[in-house]
Amino acid sequence: MKAVIQRVSEGSVTVDNKVVAEIGQGLVILLGIAPGDTLQLAQQMVEKIAHLRIFEDEDEKMNLSALDVGAEAIVVSQFTLYADTSRGRRPSFIAAAKPDLAEPLVESFAHLLTDQGVPTQTGIFGAMMDVALVNDGPVTIVMEY
């Protein structure tokens, strides 16, 4: 499981000219699922993300978590995080999980994050999505479990 976590001042996902997710201060999380990934792994990653101290305190130090600042999140399924570019010029995505595994894990991940106390929205699995965000900082963290 791979995640690109971006601290944002605002973010949204649009599908077919309709906004399907929109947040203010929070996290936009691009999430890639691999064939061996499990719900337990998702729970571990969610726990880490919810408590990750990447928001600034009054001294402008990154000491606060998404929970501390009342942040929201958007989770976007991103199979391209598993791109293999080692051969040729066209990426291979065979390391990404098939939709029948990936879709329920992405949904579970989002629900688990909400259960942790971070209100979470999602894009639409498998859709062509326009993801817009204002990266705050910029702060971008890559996490892999």
Give 2-70 as a DSSP string. EEEEEEEEEEEEEETTEEEEEESSEEEEEEE--TT--HHHHHHHHHHHHH---EE-TTS-EEE-HHHHT
Per CATH, the number for 2-144 is: 3.50.80.10
Per-residue pLDDT of the chain (145 residues; tens, 9 = 90+): 999 999 999 999 999 999 999 999 999 999 999 999 999 999 999 999 999 999 999 999 999 999 999 999 999 999 999 999 999 999 999 999 999 999 999 999 999 999 999 999 999 999 999 999 999 999 999 999 9
State residue 20's pLDDT score: 98
> Helices 39-51 and 99-116 meet at what angle, rounded to 10?
40
Active site residues: 78-80
